[in-house]
């Protein structure tokens, strides 16, 4: 188990692997609700593919091992200033992240939430009905290990478009992106 | 580009895709924000490329940040795979991205970089279209200050642009914009969809493929995500219309090469001074001709 982890982690720092990670992330953003599989632990793999010294990261719950920080190169900043935030999705949201401004909505944060598992359709505990850009016909996904308050808070944060945040939900193998344009209805029809 | 040109490799060499990994990561982060805020011009640090700004450096930086070894690239310029700009960019990608395949066939490509046209053949979910943009901001004709344009975009305040269109209607009885037609994405931001003809604008609407637009000189990236509403800016009583290819008798003009009556046509004047028409999308035209000759043989 331990050696598998290190192998997977060694891969995600390679530029060719990061390009492929980015392309699956691009698909996830283009078609929200499509669950993408990831060759390594998704939350760390995606951070490795996106971050460098120019970006800011917040890890308020200390989910990342200290040894990873130098590799990610990202600046460690408080929650409300961070461009990327890594959080445990099973705990309720505490604070409002950066939502961007009217002139610069791209400063709205990207939140990576670790959850227990992601399912297509309604096998999981929390059903999310999704519609909006990138979704031809509304789809339902479901999540285990996501606090329902996250969706309520997120819907509040994105209510003044173009301000808002992007959510990326990551379980142990897969991830799904929920850009600010995606309309999420809790407990959507199966 | 000189066909015998080789990149200088005496130092550390160039990384795959010419751009360093930091540059690619920045472009990638901007692409994701651009998709999340459809039509918003995301600023980025456009890098110096070994070609002049205005020759597709914005599109090229997008392509180089997206491309991987298993991609197949098609590059077109005004619908043609063989014009100077397209050949240059394609050669540059082949030089800097070993292992990448190039193609002229629209359906074979996973990545399509284009200048001023969207291919006639319907794109699929497996494809990404990258458009080169000279002027990204549709509001620049009515507001010179970028700071004020940013506020107007944020508030989705396009009243002055509509006044400009209205003035056209008053003066000429029709909106006179031939290309770069202002298009509203997802009901909020109005974009300059790059100098594509009006003909191509409806194809941005609910496109199965992701469309990314890159302006290298103006340092902006924006996107039309798949399955997104893209409406040309019009008035309730004046409908948007595409180029009219009917002759004086009301007959649809056909392409002189393949005879197609459903494609976007370029107007050409031959040596004798006669006006003729030909498909703008050269690959589409060739495929039509092949189908016709195959049918004749059969």
Interface contact A33, partner B, CB < 8 A: no
Q: How far apart are CA A14 and CA B200, in angstroms?
A: 39
Given this structure, which CATH class describes domain A7-116+147-180? alpha beta
Say yes or no to pLDDT of A4 above 80: no
Query: Catalytic site residue B255?
Result: yes
In this prediction, residues A181-190 reach a mean pLDDT of 80
Interface contact A106, partner B, CB < 8 A: yes
Both tokens of B291, joined, read 């189908």
Interface contact B243, partner A, CB < 8 A: no
pLDDT digits (tens, 9 = 90+) for B98-148: 999 999 999 999 999 999 999 999 999 999 999 999 999 999 999 999 999
SS (H, E, C) A45-113: HHHHHHCCCCCEEECCCCCCCCCHHHHHCCEECCHHHCCEEEEECCCCCCCCCCCCCCCCHHHCCEEEE
Query: Catalytic site residue B257?
Result: no
| CB neighbour list of residue A159: distance below 8 Å, 6 or more residues apart | none
**Helices of type H across chain B:** 21-36, 57-66, 84-96, 146-154, 159-172, 282-297
> How much is the ipTM here?
0.94
Are the beta carbons of B37 and A162 separated by less than 8 Å?
Answer: yes
Are the beta carbons of B147 and A103 separated by less than 8 Å?
Answer: yes
Residue A182 near residue A159, CB atoms below 8 Å: no
Percent of chain B with pLDDT over 90: 89
Q: How far apart are CA B87 and CA B76, in angstroms?
A: 8
Query: Catalytic site residue B39?
Result: yes
Confidence category of residue A54, pLDDT binned at 50, 70, 90: very high
Give the mutation candidate from B15, B21, B23, B32 for the A interface (greatest A CB count, under 10 A).
Answer: B32
Q: How far is B97 from chain A (nearest CA, A)?
A: 11
């Amino acid at each position: 188990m331990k050696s598998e982890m290190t192998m997977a982690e060694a891969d995600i720092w390679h530029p060719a692997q990061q390009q492929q990670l980015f392309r699956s992330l691009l698909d996830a953003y283009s078609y929200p609700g499509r669950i993408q599989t990831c060759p390594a632990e998704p939350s760390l793999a995606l951070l490795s593919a996106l971050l460098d010294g120019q970006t800011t990261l917040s890890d308020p719950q200390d989910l990342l091992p200290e040894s990873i920080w130098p590799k990610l190169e990202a600046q460690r900043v408080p929650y409300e200033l961070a461009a990327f935030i890594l959080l445990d999705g099973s705990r309720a949201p505490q604070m409002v992240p950066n939502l961007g401004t009217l002139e610069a909505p791209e400063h709205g944060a990207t939140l990576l939430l670790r959850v227990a598992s992601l399912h297509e359709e309604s096998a999981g505990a929390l059903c999310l009905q999704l519609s909006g850009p990138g979704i031809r016909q509304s789809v339902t996904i479901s999540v285990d290990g996501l606090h329902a308050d996250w969706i309520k808070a997120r819907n509040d944060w994105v209510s003044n478009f173009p301000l808002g945040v992007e959510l990326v939900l990551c379980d142990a193998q897969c991830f799904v992106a929920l850009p600010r344009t995606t309309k999420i209805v809790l407990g959507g029809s199966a | 580009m000189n066909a015998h040109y080789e990149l200088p490799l005496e130092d550390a060499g160039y990384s795959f895709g010419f751009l360093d990994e930091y540059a690619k990561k920045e472009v990638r982060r901007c692409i994701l924000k651009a998709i999340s805020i459809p039509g918003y011009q995301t600023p980025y640090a456009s890098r110096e490329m070994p070609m002049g700004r205005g020759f597709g450096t914005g599109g090229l930086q997008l392509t180089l940040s997206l491309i991987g070894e298993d991609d197949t690239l098609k590059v077109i310029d005004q619908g043609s795979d063989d014009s100077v700009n397209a050949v240059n960019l394609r050669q540059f990608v082949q030089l800097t991205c070993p292992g990448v395949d190039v193609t002229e066939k629209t359906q074979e490509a996973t990545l399509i970089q284009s200048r001023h046209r969207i291919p006639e053949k319907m794109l699929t979910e497996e494809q990404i279209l990258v458009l080169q943009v000279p002027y990204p901001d549709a509001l620049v004709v009515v507001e010179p200050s970028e700071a004020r344009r940013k506020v107007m975009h944020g508030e989705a305040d396009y009243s002055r642009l509509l006044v400009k269109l209205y003035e056209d209607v008053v003066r000429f009885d029709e909106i006179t914009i031939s290309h770069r037609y202002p298009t509203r994405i997802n009901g909020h931001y109005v974009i300059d969809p790059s100098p594509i003809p009006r003909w191509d604008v409806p194809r941005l609407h609910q496109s199965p493929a992701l469309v990314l637009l890159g302006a290298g000189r103006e340092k902006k990236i924006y996107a039309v995500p798949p399955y997104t509403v893209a409406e040309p800016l019009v008035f309730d009583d004046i409908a948007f219309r595409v180029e009219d290819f009917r002759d004086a008798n009301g007959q649809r003009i056909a392409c002189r090469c393949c005879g197609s009556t459903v494609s976007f046509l370029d107007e050409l004047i031959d040596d004798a001074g006669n006006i003729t028409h030909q498909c703008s999308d050269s690959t589409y035209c060739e495929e039509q001709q092949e189908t016709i000759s195959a049918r004749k043989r059969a």
